[in-house]
Structure 1
Amino acid sequence: MIRCFFKNSNKLEVITDLSEFDDNEDKKSKVVWLDMLLPTSEEIVFVEHTFGIDFPTKQESEEIEISSRYWEEDKKIEINSFFLIANDDSAHNETVSFILQGNLLISIRYKELKTFEEFSKRFYYAPREFKNGYYIFSQLLDIRIDADADIIEKLSKDITRLRKHVFTDYTNDDEEMLEKISSFEDLNMNIRENLMDKQR
Protein backbone atom coordinates (compact mmCIF):
# COMPACT_ATOMS: atom_id res chain seq x y z
CA MET A 1 0.00 0.00 0.00
CA ILE A 2 1.18 3.52 -0.80
CA ARG A 3 -0.08 6.70 0.81
CA CYS A 4 0.76 9.80 -1.17
CA PHE A 5 0.89 13.16 0.60
CA PHE A 6 0.83 16.07 -1.84
CA LYS A 7 0.33 19.81 -1.79
CA ASN A 8 -3.05 21.11 -2.89
CA SER A 9 -3.04 24.90 -2.72
CA ASN A 10 -1.46 25.62 0.70
CA LYS A 11 -2.41 22.38 2.44
CA LEU A 12 -1.55 18.69 2.19
CA GLU A 13 -3.90 15.95 1.05
CA VAL A 14 -3.56 12.17 1.04
CA ILE A 15 -4.44 9.76 -1.75
CA THR A 16 -3.74 6.06 -2.32
CA ASP A 17 -4.39 5.92 -6.09
CA LEU A 18 -1.22 7.05 -7.85
CA SER A 19 -2.42 6.45 -11.40
CA GLU A 20 -3.26 10.14 -11.81
CA PHE A 21 0.44 10.96 -11.50
CA ASP A 22 1.24 9.19 -14.77
CA ASP A 23 2.92 11.73 -17.08
CA ASN A 24 1.66 14.62 -14.94
CA GLU A 25 4.81 16.52 -14.02
CA ASP A 26 2.91 19.30 -12.24
CA LYS A 27 1.23 16.88 -9.83
CA LYS A 28 4.41 14.90 -9.29
CA SER A 29 6.25 18.07 -8.30
CA LYS A 30 3.69 18.66 -5.53
CA VAL A 31 4.23 15.29 -3.84
CA VAL A 32 6.10 15.64 -0.51
CA TRP A 33 5.83 12.12 0.96
CA LEU A 34 5.25 8.60 -0.33
CA ASP A 35 4.70 6.22 2.58
CA MET A 36 5.07 2.65 1.31
CA LEU A 37 3.82 -0.11 3.61
CA LEU A 38 4.50 -3.69 2.51
CA PRO A 39 4.95 -2.50 -1.09
CA THR A 40 4.48 -5.02 -3.87
CA SER A 41 7.13 -5.37 -6.56
CA GLU A 42 4.72 -3.67 -8.97
CA GLU A 43 4.31 -0.69 -6.64
CA ILE A 44 8.07 -0.35 -6.22
CA VAL A 45 8.65 -0.46 -9.98
CA PHE A 46 5.88 2.10 -10.52
CA VAL A 47 7.33 4.56 -8.00
CA GLU A 48 10.89 4.05 -9.28
CA HIS A 49 9.74 4.74 -12.84
CA THR A 50 7.42 7.63 -11.95
CA PHE A 51 9.78 9.48 -9.61
CA GLY A 52 13.14 8.31 -10.96
CA ILE A 53 14.40 6.74 -7.72
CA ASP A 54 16.06 3.36 -7.09
CA PHE A 55 15.04 1.52 -3.93
CA PRO A 56 17.02 -0.96 -1.86
CA THR A 57 15.34 -4.32 -1.35
CA LYS A 58 14.20 -5.33 2.15
CA GLN A 59 17.12 -7.75 2.40
CA GLU A 60 19.61 -5.10 1.26
CA SER A 61 18.29 -2.63 3.86
CA GLU A 62 18.65 -5.15 6.67
CA GLU A 63 22.14 -6.26 5.62
CA ILE A 64 23.65 -2.77 5.48
CA GLU A 65 26.30 -2.34 8.17
CA ILE A 66 25.54 0.05 11.04
CA SER A 67 28.31 2.40 9.88
CA SER A 68 26.81 2.63 6.38
CA ARG A 69 23.16 3.21 7.19
CA TYR A 70 23.30 6.86 6.10
CA TRP A 71 24.72 8.14 2.85
CA GLU A 72 24.36 10.99 0.38
CA GLU A 73 24.75 10.99 -3.37
CA ASP A 74 23.52 13.16 -6.25
CA LYS A 75 21.40 15.42 -4.04
CA LYS A 76 19.76 12.35 -2.52
CA ILE A 77 19.96 11.16 1.09
CA GLU A 78 19.31 7.50 1.91
CA ILE A 79 18.78 6.38 5.49
CA ASN A 80 18.05 2.98 6.99
CA SER A 81 16.86 3.50 10.54
CA PHE A 82 15.85 1.16 13.36
CA PHE A 83 12.41 1.52 14.91
CA LEU A 84 12.20 -0.30 18.24
CA ILE A 85 9.25 -2.62 18.80
CA ALA A 86 8.94 -3.56 22.47
CA ASN A 87 6.22 -5.95 23.60
CA ASP A 88 5.71 -7.38 27.07
CA ASP A 89 7.57 -10.58 26.22
CA SER A 90 9.98 -9.56 23.44
CA ALA A 91 11.74 -6.70 21.70
CA HIS A 92 13.35 -6.18 18.31
CA ASN A 93 14.38 -3.45 15.91
CA GLU A 94 12.49 -3.06 12.65
CA THR A 95 14.34 -1.40 9.76
CA VAL A 96 12.64 1.45 7.89
CA SER A 97 14.24 2.89 4.75
CA PHE A 98 13.99 6.59 3.97
CA ILE A 99 14.94 8.46 0.81
CA LEU A 100 15.06 12.26 0.75
CA GLN A 101 15.37 13.88 -2.66
CA GLY A 102 14.58 17.56 -3.01
CA ASN A 103 11.38 18.16 -1.05
CA LEU A 104 10.26 14.54 -1.48
CA LEU A 105 10.41 11.94 1.30
CA ILE A 106 9.88 8.26 0.57
CA SER A 107 9.54 5.75 3.41
CA ILE A 108 9.59 1.99 2.88
CA ARG A 109 8.50 -0.27 5.73
CA TYR A 110 7.26 -3.80 6.14
CA LYS A 111 5.32 -3.51 9.38
CA GLU A 112 2.68 -1.26 10.92
CA LEU A 113 4.46 1.07 13.35
CA LYS A 114 2.97 3.25 16.08
CA THR A 115 5.22 6.15 15.06
CA PHE A 116 3.46 6.40 11.71
CA GLU A 117 0.04 6.06 13.33
CA GLU A 118 0.88 8.94 15.67
CA PHE A 119 2.11 11.06 12.78
CA SER A 120 -1.16 10.45 10.92
CA LYS A 121 -3.07 11.82 13.91
CA ARG A 122 -0.93 14.96 13.96
CA PHE A 123 -1.22 15.33 10.22
CA TYR A 124 -4.99 15.16 10.13
CA TYR A 125 -5.15 17.64 13.01
CA ALA A 126 -2.88 20.23 11.35
CA PRO A 127 -2.02 19.27 7.73
CA ARG A 128 -0.73 22.73 6.80
CA GLU A 129 2.21 22.44 9.20
CA PHE A 130 3.93 19.71 7.16
CA LYS A 131 5.47 21.71 4.34
CA ASN A 132 7.95 19.27 2.83
CA GLY A 133 9.61 15.89 3.15
CA TYR A 134 12.37 17.14 5.46
CA TYR A 135 9.84 18.50 7.93
CA ILE A 136 7.84 15.25 7.84
CA PHE A 137 11.01 13.20 8.39
CA SER A 138 12.04 15.30 11.40
CA GLN A 139 8.58 14.91 12.90
CA LEU A 140 8.71 11.12 12.47
CA LEU A 141 12.06 11.05 14.28
CA ASP A 142 10.75 13.30 17.06
CA ILE A 143 7.84 10.93 17.64
CA ARG A 144 10.14 7.90 17.57
CA ILE A 145 12.63 9.43 20.02
CA ASP A 146 9.81 10.31 22.44
CA ALA A 147 8.57 6.71 22.24
CA ASP A 148 12.10 5.38 22.88
CA ALA A 149 12.39 7.64 25.92
CA ASP A 150 9.13 6.20 27.28
CA ILE A 151 10.44 2.66 26.76
CA ILE A 152 13.68 3.48 28.60
CA GLU A 153 11.75 5.04 31.48
CA LYS A 154 9.49 1.98 31.76
CA LEU A 155 12.49 -0.37 31.66
CA SER A 156 14.15 1.57 34.47
CA LYS A 157 11.01 1.33 36.61
CA ASP A 158 10.63 -2.39 35.87
CA ILE A 159 14.25 -3.07 36.89
CA THR A 160 13.82 -1.09 40.11
CA ARG A 161 10.64 -3.00 40.90
CA LEU A 162 12.33 -6.34 40.22
CA ARG A 163 15.33 -5.46 42.39
CA LYS A 164 13.09 -4.57 45.32
CA HIS A 165 11.12 -7.77 44.81
CA VAL A 166 14.28 -9.91 44.79
CA PHE A 167 15.58 -8.47 48.05
CA THR A 168 12.29 -8.43 49.94
CA ASP A 169 10.55 -11.63 48.84
CA TYR A 170 12.60 -14.71 49.69
CA THR A 171 10.06 -17.07 48.15
CA ASN A 172 10.96 -15.90 44.63
CA ASP A 173 10.80 -18.33 41.74
CA ASP A 174 14.40 -18.33 40.48
CA GLU A 175 13.44 -19.42 36.98
CA GLU A 176 10.87 -16.64 36.68
CA MET A 177 13.40 -14.08 37.92
CA LEU A 178 15.98 -15.26 35.39
CA GLU A 179 13.43 -15.00 32.58
CA LYS A 180 12.63 -11.43 33.56
CA ILE A 181 16.31 -10.48 33.81
CA SER A 182 16.92 -12.06 30.40
CA SER A 183 14.04 -10.10 28.84
CA PHE A 184 15.33 -6.86 30.39
CA GLU A 185 18.81 -7.53 29.01
CA ASP A 186 17.38 -8.26 25.56
CA LEU A 187 15.41 -5.02 25.60
CA ASN A 188 18.46 -3.10 26.84
CA MET A 189 20.59 -4.44 23.97
CA ASN A 190 17.95 -3.44 21.43
CA ILE A 191 17.69 0.03 22.96
CA ARG A 192 21.47 0.49 22.77
CA GLU A 193 21.52 -0.66 19.15
CA ASN A 194 18.62 1.68 18.38
CA LEU A 195 20.32 4.69 20.00
CA MET A 196 23.63 4.02 18.23
CA ASP A 197 21.71 3.89 14.96
CA LYS A 198 20.11 7.30 15.62
CA GLN A 199 23.45 8.88 16.59
CA ARG A 200 24.91 7.96 13.23
Structure 2
Amino acid sequence: MIRAYRIVEGRNEPLDGVPSAEALRQSCWIDLNTPSTADRQLVEQTFGIELPTREEMREIELSSRLYREAGGAFMTATVLCRADAPVPETMDITFVLTGDTLITLRFDDPKPFYGFHNQVTKQSVKLENGVSTFISLLDAILDRIADVLEGAGRDVTAVARELLIEEHQGHLNSDEQHRLLKRIARAHDLTAKARESLVTLTRIIAFTGTVRELINDKALRARLKTLSQDAQSLADYTAFLSSNIAFQLDALLGVVGIEQNNIVKIFSVAAVVFLPPTLVASIYGMNFHFMPELDWPYGYPLAIALMVISVIVPFLYFKRRGWL
Protein backbone atom coordinates (compact mmCIF):
# COMPACT_ATOMS: atom_id res chain seq x y z
CA MET A 1 0.00 0.00 0.00
CA ILE A 2 1.21 3.50 -0.88
CA ARG A 3 0.36 6.54 1.21
CA ALA A 4 1.84 9.76 -0.10
CA TYR A 5 1.52 13.44 0.76
CA ARG A 6 2.40 16.62 -1.07
CA ILE A 7 2.15 20.28 -0.06
CA VAL A 8 -0.59 22.31 -1.70
CA GLU A 9 -0.96 25.92 -0.54
CA GLY A 10 0.65 25.16 2.79
CA ARG A 11 -1.54 22.13 3.53
CA ASN A 12 -0.79 18.40 3.54
CA GLU A 13 -2.64 16.83 0.64
CA PRO A 14 -2.87 13.02 0.66
CA LEU A 15 -2.71 11.28 -2.69
CA ASP A 16 -5.68 8.94 -3.05
CA GLY A 17 -5.61 5.66 -4.90
CA VAL A 18 -2.55 4.71 -6.92
CA PRO A 19 -0.66 7.99 -7.51
CA SER A 20 0.99 8.78 -10.79
CA ALA A 21 4.74 9.10 -11.22
CA GLU A 22 4.44 12.88 -11.55
CA ALA A 23 2.44 13.11 -8.31
CA LEU A 24 5.03 10.98 -6.53
CA ARG A 25 7.84 13.30 -7.65
CA GLN A 26 5.98 16.22 -6.05
CA SER A 27 5.46 14.35 -2.78
CA CYS A 28 7.45 15.09 0.34
CA TRP A 29 6.64 11.75 1.99
CA ILE A 30 5.88 8.36 0.43
CA ASP A 31 5.06 5.60 2.89
CA LEU A 32 5.18 2.01 1.61
CA ASN A 33 3.47 -0.37 4.02
CA THR A 34 3.81 -4.00 2.89
CA PRO A 35 3.95 -2.87 -0.74
CA SER A 36 3.04 -5.05 -3.66
CA THR A 37 5.48 -5.70 -6.48
CA ALA A 38 3.71 -3.10 -8.63
CA ASP A 39 3.98 -0.47 -5.88
CA ARG A 40 7.70 -1.11 -5.44
CA GLN A 41 8.36 -0.93 -9.18
CA LEU A 42 6.40 2.32 -9.47
CA VAL A 43 8.47 4.04 -6.78
CA GLU A 44 11.77 2.58 -8.02
CA GLN A 45 11.14 3.67 -11.62
CA THR A 46 9.93 7.13 -10.57
CA PHE A 47 13.02 7.95 -8.51
CA GLY A 48 15.57 5.71 -10.23
CA ILE A 49 16.46 3.80 -7.06
CA GLU A 50 16.40 0.18 -5.94
CA LEU A 51 14.60 -0.45 -2.68
CA PRO A 52 16.03 -3.17 -0.42
CA THR A 53 14.15 -6.43 -0.04
CA ARG A 54 12.82 -7.58 3.30
CA GLU A 55 15.71 -10.02 3.66
CA GLU A 56 18.23 -7.27 2.93
CA MET A 57 16.58 -5.03 5.54
CA ARG A 58 17.21 -7.69 8.19
CA GLU A 59 20.98 -7.71 7.66
CA ILE A 60 22.86 -6.36 10.65
CA GLU A 61 26.04 -5.16 8.93
CA LEU A 62 26.42 -1.40 9.19
CA SER A 63 27.27 -1.12 5.49
CA SER A 64 24.00 -2.87 4.62
CA ARG A 65 21.93 -0.51 6.76
CA LEU A 66 23.52 2.87 6.07
CA TYR A 67 24.69 3.69 2.56
CA ARG A 68 24.32 6.12 -0.32
CA GLU A 69 23.37 4.97 -3.77
CA ALA A 70 21.96 6.53 -6.95
CA GLY A 71 21.44 9.94 -5.43
CA GLY A 72 19.65 8.64 -2.35
CA ALA A 73 20.60 8.01 1.27
CA PHE A 74 19.38 4.62 2.52
CA MET A 75 18.97 4.09 6.28
CA THR A 76 17.46 1.02 7.95
CA ALA A 77 16.43 1.08 11.60
CA THR A 78 15.12 -1.60 13.94
CA VAL A 79 12.04 -0.08 15.57
CA LEU A 80 10.14 -1.36 18.58
CA CYS A 81 6.54 -2.33 17.81
CA ARG A 82 3.66 -4.12 19.56
CA ALA A 83 5.04 -2.92 22.88
CA ASP A 84 1.64 -3.42 24.54
CA ALA A 85 1.43 -7.07 23.48
CA PRO A 86 2.43 -9.88 25.85
CA VAL A 87 5.54 -10.44 23.70
CA PRO A 88 6.99 -7.19 22.27
CA GLU A 89 8.44 -7.28 18.78
CA THR A 90 10.77 -5.29 16.58
CA MET A 91 10.55 -4.49 12.89
CA ASP A 92 12.94 -3.12 10.30
CA ILE A 93 12.10 0.17 8.59
CA THR A 94 14.08 1.65 5.71
CA PHE A 95 14.21 5.41 5.25
CA VAL A 96 15.28 6.74 1.85
CA LEU A 97 16.05 10.43 1.37
CA THR A 98 16.16 11.35 -2.28
CA GLY A 99 15.96 14.99 -3.23
CA ASP A 100 13.10 16.62 -1.32
CA THR A 101 11.25 13.34 -0.82
CA LEU A 102 11.28 10.86 2.06
CA ILE A 103 10.43 7.24 1.23
CA THR A 104 9.71 4.82 4.07
CA LEU A 105 9.52 1.07 3.55
CA ARG A 106 8.02 -1.12 6.27
CA PHE A 107 6.06 -4.35 6.77
CA ASP A 108 4.08 -3.52 9.91
CA ASP A 109 2.17 -0.60 11.40
CA PRO A 110 3.81 0.56 14.62
CA LYS A 111 2.16 3.23 16.73
CA PRO A 112 4.57 6.06 15.77
CA PHE A 113 3.63 5.72 12.10
CA TYR A 114 -0.07 5.31 12.85
CA GLY A 115 -0.08 8.41 15.06
CA PHE A 116 2.09 10.43 12.67
CA HIS A 117 -0.26 9.70 9.78
CA ASN A 118 -3.17 10.97 11.90
CA GLN A 119 -1.30 14.16 12.76
CA VAL A 120 -0.41 14.78 9.13
CA THR A 121 -3.99 14.13 7.99
CA LYS A 122 -5.41 16.47 10.65
CA GLN A 123 -2.84 19.14 9.67
CA SER A 124 -1.40 19.26 13.21
CA VAL A 125 1.99 18.41 11.66
CA LYS A 126 2.98 20.40 8.58
CA LEU A 127 5.19 18.62 6.09
CA GLU A 128 7.74 20.84 4.40
CA ASN A 129 10.18 18.51 2.67
CA GLY A 130 11.64 15.06 2.96
CA VAL A 131 14.34 15.92 5.50
CA SER A 132 12.03 17.76 7.90
CA THR A 133 9.50 14.93 7.59
CA PHE A 134 12.26 12.43 8.33
CA ILE A 135 13.32 14.31 11.47
CA SER A 136 9.71 14.67 12.66
CA LEU A 137 9.16 10.95 12.14
CA LEU A 138 12.31 10.08 14.09
CA ASP A 139 11.08 12.37 16.86
CA ALA A 140 7.76 10.49 16.96
CA ILE A 141 9.57 7.14 17.16
CA LEU A 142 11.77 8.35 20.02
CA ASP A 143 8.72 9.71 21.86
CA ARG A 144 7.07 6.32 21.60
CA ILE A 145 10.19 4.54 22.91
CA ALA A 146 10.33 7.00 25.81
CA ASP A 147 6.70 6.25 26.70
CA VAL A 148 7.37 2.51 26.55
CA LEU A 149 10.44 2.80 28.78
CA GLU A 150 8.50 4.89 31.28
CA GLY A 151 5.85 2.17 31.45
CA ALA A 152 8.51 -0.51 31.90
CA GLY A 153 10.11 1.54 34.67
CA ARG A 154 6.79 1.86 36.49
CA ASP A 155 6.22 -1.87 36.19
CA VAL A 156 9.65 -2.66 37.64
CA THR A 157 8.98 -0.25 40.52
CA ALA A 158 5.66 -1.99 41.14
CA VAL A 159 7.43 -5.35 41.30
CA ALA A 160 9.90 -3.96 43.84
CA ARG A 161 7.02 -2.61 45.92
CA GLU A 162 5.29 -5.99 45.92
CA LEU A 163 8.49 -7.69 47.05
CA LEU A 164 8.87 -5.23 49.93
CA ILE A 165 5.22 -5.52 50.96
CA GLU A 166 5.29 -9.32 50.85
CA GLU A 167 8.37 -9.25 53.07
CA HIS A 168 6.23 -7.78 55.87
CA GLN A 169 2.86 -9.36 55.11
CA GLY A 170 3.77 -12.95 54.41
CA HIS A 171 5.40 -15.31 51.96
CA LEU A 172 5.01 -15.34 48.20
CA ASN A 173 3.17 -18.39 47.02
CA SER A 174 4.18 -20.15 43.81
CA ASP A 175 1.52 -18.38 41.71
CA GLU A 176 2.69 -14.95 42.87
CA GLN A 177 6.31 -15.88 42.24
CA HIS A 178 5.44 -17.02 38.72
CA ARG A 179 3.48 -13.82 38.04
CA LEU A 180 6.29 -11.54 39.26
CA LEU A 181 8.87 -13.54 37.30
CA LYS A 182 6.83 -13.12 34.10
CA ARG A 183 6.56 -9.36 34.70
CA ILE A 184 10.30 -9.07 35.21
CA ALA A 185 11.00 -11.18 32.10
CA ARG A 186 8.67 -9.03 29.99
CA ALA A 187 10.25 -5.82 31.28
CA HIS A 188 13.69 -7.19 30.41
CA ASP A 189 12.59 -8.22 26.91
CA LEU A 190 10.95 -4.84 26.33
CA THR A 191 14.02 -2.94 27.54
CA ALA A 192 16.36 -5.05 25.41
CA LYS A 193 14.31 -4.43 22.27
CA ALA A 194 14.07 -0.71 23.05
CA ARG A 195 17.85 -0.55 23.49
CA GLU A 196 18.37 -2.34 20.17
CA SER A 197 16.06 0.17 18.51
CA LEU A 198 17.89 3.12 20.09
CA VAL A 199 21.26 1.83 18.88
CA THR A 200 20.09 1.74 15.26
CA LEU A 201 18.35 5.12 15.54
CA THR A 202 21.50 6.69 17.00
CA ARG A 203 23.50 5.38 14.04
CA ILE A 204 20.95 6.79 11.61
CA ILE A 205 21.01 10.22 13.27
CA ALA A 206 24.81 10.27 13.18
CA PHE A 207 24.82 9.17 9.53
CA THR A 208 22.29 11.84 8.56
CA GLY A 209 24.42 14.52 10.20
CA THR A 210 27.33 13.63 7.95
CA VAL A 211 25.28 14.16 4.76
CA ARG A 212 25.67 17.92 4.59
CA GLU A 213 23.71 18.35 1.40
CA LEU A 214 20.70 16.77 3.11
CA ILE A 215 20.91 18.80 6.30
CA ASN A 216 21.87 22.24 4.95
CA ASP A 217 19.44 24.16 7.12
CA LYS A 218 20.67 25.43 10.49
CA ALA A 219 17.30 24.81 12.19
CA LEU A 220 17.19 21.23 10.93
CA ARG A 221 20.73 20.59 12.13
CA ALA A 222 19.71 21.89 15.57
CA ARG A 223 16.71 19.55 15.62
CA LEU A 224 18.92 16.65 14.56
CA LYS A 225 21.34 17.44 17.38
CA THR A 226 18.45 17.48 19.85
CA LEU A 227 17.32 14.09 18.57
CA SER A 228 20.84 12.75 19.08
CA GLN A 229 20.84 13.97 22.68
CA ASP A 230 17.39 12.49 23.30
CA ALA A 231 18.46 9.12 21.89
CA GLN A 232 21.57 9.13 24.07
CA SER A 233 19.60 10.00 27.21
CA LEU A 234 17.12 7.20 26.47
CA ALA A 235 20.02 4.79 25.94
CA ASP A 236 21.41 5.78 29.35
CA TYR A 237 18.00 5.22 30.90
CA THR A 238 17.75 1.75 29.37
CA ALA A 239 21.11 0.91 30.96
CA PHE A 240 19.80 2.04 34.36
CA LEU A 241 16.55 0.17 33.82
CA SER A 242 18.41 -3.01 32.84
CA SER A 243 20.46 -2.92 36.04
CA ASN A 244 17.30 -2.31 38.07
CA ILE A 245 15.57 -5.27 36.39
CA ALA A 246 18.59 -7.48 37.13
CA PHE A 247 18.47 -6.42 40.78
CA GLN A 248 14.73 -7.16 41.05
CA LEU A 249 15.29 -10.56 39.48
CA ASP A 250 18.07 -11.32 41.99
CA ALA A 251 15.82 -10.12 44.82
CA LEU A 252 12.94 -12.34 43.69
CA LEU A 253 15.22 -15.36 43.31
CA GLY A 254 16.66 -14.57 46.75
CA VAL A 255 13.18 -14.58 48.28
CA VAL A 256 12.43 -17.90 46.56
CA GLY A 257 15.73 -19.30 47.81
CA ILE A 258 15.01 -18.20 51.40
CA GLU A 259 11.59 -19.85 51.32
CA GLN A 260 13.09 -23.03 49.92
CA ASN A 261 15.73 -22.98 52.67
CA ASN A 262 12.99 -22.62 55.28
CA ILE A 263 11.20 -25.64 53.87
CA VAL A 264 14.41 -27.66 53.79
CA LYS A 265 15.15 -26.54 57.37
CA ILE A 266 11.76 -27.81 58.53
CA PHE A 267 12.38 -31.21 56.98
CA SER A 268 15.90 -31.32 58.43
CA VAL A 269 14.66 -30.50 61.93
CA ALA A 270 11.87 -33.05 61.61
CA ALA A 271 14.38 -35.70 60.54
CA VAL A 272 16.67 -34.91 63.49
CA VAL A 273 13.78 -34.78 65.98
CA PHE A 274 12.38 -38.15 64.94
CA LEU A 275 15.76 -39.85 64.69
CA PRO A 276 16.11 -40.72 68.45
CA PRO A 277 12.63 -42.33 68.77
CA THR A 278 13.39 -44.29 65.61
CA LEU A 279 16.59 -45.51 67.29
CA VAL A 280 14.68 -46.56 70.42
CA ALA A 281 12.06 -48.35 68.36
CA SER A 282 14.76 -50.07 66.31
CA ILE A 283 16.57 -51.33 69.42
CA TYR A 284 13.47 -52.82 70.98
CA GLY A 285 12.29 -54.19 67.69
CA MET A 286 15.29 -56.49 67.25
CA ASN A 287 13.67 -59.28 69.39
CA PHE A 288 16.88 -60.88 70.58
CA HIS A 289 16.35 -63.74 73.03
CA PHE A 290 18.40 -62.18 75.80
CA MET A 291 16.80 -58.73 76.20
CA PRO A 292 15.82 -58.19 79.87
CA GLU A 293 13.41 -55.38 78.97
CA LEU A 294 11.21 -57.82 77.07
CA ASP A 295 10.19 -59.45 80.34
CA TRP A 296 9.51 -56.20 82.21
CA PRO A 297 5.84 -55.54 82.87
CA TYR A 298 6.37 -51.84 82.17
CA GLY A 299 8.78 -52.27 79.29
CA TYR A 300 6.32 -51.08 76.64
CA PRO A 301 5.32 -47.86 78.50
CA LEU A 302 8.99 -47.22 79.21
CA ALA A 303 9.86 -47.48 75.53
CA ILE A 304 7.02 -45.11 74.61
CA ALA A 305 8.19 -42.66 77.29
CA LEU A 306 11.77 -42.79 75.95
CA MET A 307 10.49 -42.02 72.45
CA VAL A 308 8.45 -39.03 73.65
CA ILE A 309 11.34 -37.66 75.70
CA SER A 310 13.75 -38.13 72.78
CA VAL A 311 11.39 -35.96 70.68
CA ILE A 312 10.79 -33.22 73.27
CA VAL A 313 14.42 -32.69 74.26
CA PRO A 314 15.80 -31.94 70.73
CA PHE A 315 12.73 -29.79 70.00
CA LEU A 316 13.28 -27.65 73.10
CA TYR A 317 17.00 -27.40 72.34
CA PHE A 318 16.38 -26.17 68.76
CA LYS A 319 13.73 -23.77 70.02
CA ARG A 320 16.10 -22.32 72.60
CA ARG A 321 18.86 -21.83 70.00
CA GLY A 322 16.42 -19.99 67.69
CA TRP A 323 16.61 -22.54 64.92
CA LEU A 324 12.83 -22.88 64.74
Please report the TM-score for the alignment, with normalisation by the length of structure 1: 0.88
**Counterpart code for 1:143:** A
Alignment partner, residue 73 of structure 2: 77
Q: Greater CA deviation, 74-83 or 152-161?
A: 74-83
Q: Which has the higher helix share?
A: 2
1:20 equivalenced with 2:20 (yes/no): yes
1:11 equivalenced with 2:8 (yes/no): no
Higher relative contact order (CA 8 A, sep 6+): 1
**Counterpart code for 1:42:** A
**Counterpart code for 1:147:** R
Equivalent of 1:94, from 91, 95, 112? 91
Alignment partner, residue 46 of structure 1: 42
SS of the aligned residue for 1:46 comes to helix
Alignment partner, residue 175 of structure 1: 178
Mapped partners of 2:63, 2:186: distance in 1: 27
SS of the aligned residue for 1:164 comes to helix
Mapped partners of 2:150, 2:10: distance in 1: 39
CA contact (8 A) 2:12 2:123 kept: no
Task: Tell me by how many angstroms 1:147 deviates.
Answer: 0.9
Alignment partner, residue 136 of structure 2: 139
Mapped partners of 2:144, 2:24: distance in 1: 33
Alignment partner, residue 129 of structure 1: 126
Identity %: 28
Task: Tell me by how many angstroms 1:117 deviates.
Answer: 1.8
Flag the 1:150–1:10 CA change in 2: closer, same or farther, 3 A. Answer: closer
Mapped partners of 1:164, 1:74: distance in 2: 56
Task: Tell me by how many angstroms 1:18 deviates.
Answer: 3.4
**How many residue pairs align between the two structures?**
196
SS of the aligned residue for 1:82 comes to strand
Mapped partners of 1:156, 1:128: distance in 2: 30
Structure 1 residues not aligned, in runs of 5+? none
Mapped partners of 1:192, 1:10: distance in 2: 37
CA contact (8 A) 2:14 2:121 kept: no
Flag the 1:8–1:166 CA change in 2: closer, same or farther, 3 A. Answer: same
**Counterpart code for 2:172:** T
Alignment partner, residue 30 of structure 2: 34
**Counterpart code for 1:114:** K
Alignment partner, residue 199 of structure 2: 196
Equivalent of 1:115, from 112, 115, 136? 112
Flag the 1:44–1:197 CA change in 2: closer, same or farther, 3 A. Answer: same
**Counterpart code for 1:17:** G
Structure 2 residues not aligned, in runs of 5+? 204-324
Mapped partners of 1:128, 1:88: distance in 2: 28
Q: Which has the higher strand share?
A: 1
- For residues 58-84 of structure 1, the C-alpha deviation after alignment (integer angstroms, 9 at most, x for no partner) is 111012325752223443211111221
Task: Tell me by how many angstroms 1:89 deviates.
Answer: 1.4
Alignment partner, residue 152 of structure 1: 149
SS of the aligned residue for 1:63 comes to coil
Alignment partner, residue 64 of structure 1: 60
Please report the TM-score for the alignment, with normalisation by the length of structure 2: 0.56
- For residues 45-102 of structure 1, the C-alpha deviation after alignment (integer angstroms, 9 at most, x for no partner) is 1221122111000111012325752223443211111221212411121111111011
1:161 equivalenced with 2:158 (yes/no): yes
